[in-house]
Structure 1
Amino acid sequence: MNSDTNEGKWKQIKGEFKEELGKITNNESTEAEGSFDKLVGKIQEKYGETREKIEKEIKSW
């Protein structure tokens, strides 16, 4: 397990928290950020790539 995989797991936890905070505060922007963080975290955990590389790839979609 490399550091990018561990960072991916942390990113997922942080994303879930942001998503829930957005729901509680009725802030759609925070909720969307949380969903994005979770997505990046899952990809990062699975493939062990850097966050920057994954975010760049997702934004190119």
Structure 2
Amino acid sequence: MNWDRIEGNWKQFTGNAKAQWGKLTDDDLTQINGNREVLEGKLQERYGIAKDEVKRQVDLWGKDLH
């Protein structure tokens, strides 16, 4: 899915994001507010994974959204 659509409809996708990455808090999701870079940063912070792996996971997650 196009990231612009995700960003524009972020509130609709927060449940999907929380299901995918359970360590994200509601405050995290509010701060992310559809911004991909902020999402990637929060995932690195919460999960301690490398930037390239975070990008891969976010890409896969975005493709699976309907």
With the shorter chain as reference, the TM-score category is 0.3 to 0.5
Bigger CA radius of gyration: 1
- Give the TM-score of the pair, scaled to structure 2: 0.39
